[in-house]
Structure 1
Amino acid sequence: MPHPEPLYDVAQLGHVELLTPVLDDSVRFFTGVYGLDLVATEGDCAYLRGWGDHDLTTLKLTSSANSGLGHVAWRAVSPQALERRVAALEARGIEGTWTEGDIGHGKAFRFTAPGGHLTELYYETEKYRPAGDKVPALPNQPQRFTGRGAAACRIDHINLLVPDVVTTRTFMDDTLGFKLREHLVPGSGQGEVGAWMSLMNKAHDLALTREPADTQGRLHHLAYAVENREDVLRAADIFMEQDVFIEFGPAKHSRTQGFFLYVYEPGGNRMEIFSGGFHIFAPDWEPVTWNTEAGGRSTAWGLDVPASFHAHATPPLS
């Protein structure tokens, strides 16, 4: 039986909308401490970007009664690819709607994925054009390094809680072209509890973790990348000085091999500062199956996972 042809119609994690009950506090955190730039405000929404993001905005904050994910958006590689992926979704019986777009991007197809998360596909995007003291010395860099706060560089990946990991990852593979890179199957009848997937050659753009509660549509975390491990350690010092609770890290993941640090933004959403992670260049990559934590350890170097890492997600359970 021939191996299915991999799909490369979807390119990257484009932007994410986070809901927050304390919009002003969240904006202050993301600009002053996390280190993003505020590029626009409209009504009860704020639009931000990392200094290394090539698009105008990669994060939308929306005022809401509860924290959580508003929507996650994936960018197609071309207008034709967008139409092909929408056709594939509709062939699977997915009922979506077209929107006219938002600040920073054009028309988008909105649908609800099997895990209950509102998802967008789009292609047209507004590029960031630096001016004044933000013009970089190197023209292949979107903006001069800011150095403000943790100086989060660019949007990297998202982790979603889903009731059924296999069903959701199969759907994301079949319709959007996500490739399974690693998954966690502990045995003892637990089934698959985690999957790490990517669109191109990263270790992951999307992580799926089994939802422990009888609900759906919740967010585990959103991650922005920095350039190296030292930047993660620098972020830890900055969070400490700003009295931001550090939930987990700095340490190294077993899966993806990324260096990480987790905190909560004021609205309650978990944010990660991430660096590294392996890259995949082989077209016939065989997904790595983990049946236990590495050598009985929760992380690559043996740091235990705090209970809150499995218990906390947004929106919180009532």
Structure 2
Amino acid sequence: MMDIAHLGPAELLTPAFDESLRFFVDVMGMEVEAQQGGSAYLRAWGDYQRHSLKLTASETSGLAVLGLRASSPEALERRVALVEATGLGAGWHDGDVGRGPSYRFRDPDGHAFDLYYETERYSPPEHLRPSLKNQPQRYTGRGCAVKRLDHCNVLAEDVRANRMFATEALGYRLYERIELDDGTEAGAWMSVTIAAHELIYTADAYGARGRLHHLAFWVDTREECLRAADIFLDNDVHIEAAPSKHAIAQGFFLYGYEPGGNRIEVTTGGYLQYDPDPVTVVWTEEERRLGQAWRVKTVETFHTYGTPPVAGT
């Protein structure tokens, strides 16, 4: 078993808190599990933990911190020691709603992460109690009805340095990457599970540091992803890229901007990596010019837009 089990809750910043909250509840179909201070804690219907998204009012947009759950107390200790050896650790804090003591650190680009093990499993109220005991919550069918947090893509000034930190200090496996003609690494798709990707680094077009590309939430079928596009349209959500299929990782996608400005993906599909020693797939600059899996040209903003915004862009 890997020392890191999976992505934990992500904290997303928004300068339009009420509108963003309404988006995640009514459009994405998530439940408010708790509210504290200027934050709301939201869950998808398939989350076994109390929440997977913390939405926090802020003067700007972006990702505040990304949680990583360790697979055991011993695994947590091992990874904390490895992170501390890099000099990028910030120290322990008491945790957050539904989560025990957490170790805060930053990657070489400045993105904040929390390593933790102790967590509360979700106990639904009566109106959300499912019929099946192996399902954490009733399926409500509201909005896109997303099932879980699937992956996070963060932008980086130096993809290679951050990818090496993730593989060496955190134990991620590198499944796919992009290498440009000049040898620059422009993207890295990594996972600690058989999922095709959970943590992604892609190059920041402005050479900025610590920014978010997108958070992705899972639905079970392509039809749900297509339906999500109709729901986005009906709710005046800006659709950046209509449903199609990625070449890298082969996931089906829909991209839009929530009211705070953060890019959100509704996703499904993709392959599962059962090979315990996979050969990393390397994509060339020429191959990436072909666009997505069905040769659909990638929209320009997908390469340039991130949060928080860069001054002057």
Report the TM-score range of the alignment, normalised by the length of the smaller protein: over 0.9
1:143-292 equivalence runs, <5 A = 143-187=137-181, 189=182, 191-292=184-285
1:93-108 equivalence runs, <5 A = 93-108=87-102
- In structure 2, the residue matched to 1:17 is 11
Count of aligned residue pairs for this structure pair: 311
Aligned counterparts of 1:40 and 1:130: Cα–Cα separation in 2: 12
What's the offset of the Cα at 1:311?
A: 1.6
* Corresponding letter in the other structure for 2:131: A
Residue among 54, 57, 60 paired with 1:63: 57
More off after superposition, 134-143 vs 264-273: 134-143
Structure-2 change in CA distance of 1:175 and 1:96 (3 Å): same
Structure-2 change in CA distance of 1:28 and 1:293 (3 Å): farther
Residue among 116, 119, 124 paired with 1:130: 124
Deviations 1:240-270 (A, max 9, x none): 1111111012000000100000010100000
What's the offset of the Cα at 1:296?
A: 4.6
Aligned residues of 2:291 and 2:298 also touching (Cα < 8 A) = yes
* Corresponding letter in the other structure for 1:304: K
Aligned counterparts of 1:45 and 1:186: Cα–Cα separation in 2: 40
Aligned: 1:306 with 2:299? yes
Aligned counterparts of 1:47 and 1:295: Cα–Cα separation in 2: 37
SS at match of 1:39: strand
Aligned counterparts of 2:8 and 2:307: Cα–Cα separation in 1: 21
Deviations 1:251-300 (A, max 9, x none): 00000100000010100000000101100111111000111464852100
Aligned counterparts of 1:133 and 1:302: Cα–Cα separation in 2: 45
SS at match of 2:167: helix
SS at match of 1:96: strand
What's the offset of the Cα at 1:305?
A: 1.1
C-alpha root-mean-square deviation of aligned residues, in Å?
1.2
* Corresponding letter in the other structure for 1:170: M
Aligned residues of 2:245 and 2:251 also touching (Cα < 8 A) = yes
SS at match of 1:176: coil
- In structure 2, the residue matched to 1:4 is none
Query: What TM-score do you get using the length of structure 1 for normalisation?
Result: 0.95
Aligned residues of 1:254 and 1:294 also touching (Cα < 8 A) = no
Aligned: 1:83 with 2:77? yes
What's the offset of the Cα at 1:112?
A: 1.2
* Corresponding letter in the other structure for 1:57: H
Query: What TM-score do you get using the length of structure 2 for normalisation?
Result: 0.97
SS at match of 1:236: helix
More off after superposition, 217-226 vs 189-198: 189-198
What's the offset of the Cα at 1:109?
A: 0.2
- In structure 2, the residue matched to 1:117 is 111
- In structure 2, the residue matched to 1:36 is 30
Aligned counterparts of 1:168 and 1:259: Cα–Cα separation in 2: 26
- In structure 2, the residue matched to 1:3 is none
Aligned counterparts of 1:95 and 1:283: Cα–Cα separation in 2: 29
Aligned counterparts of 1:45 and 1:144: Cα–Cα separation in 2: 24
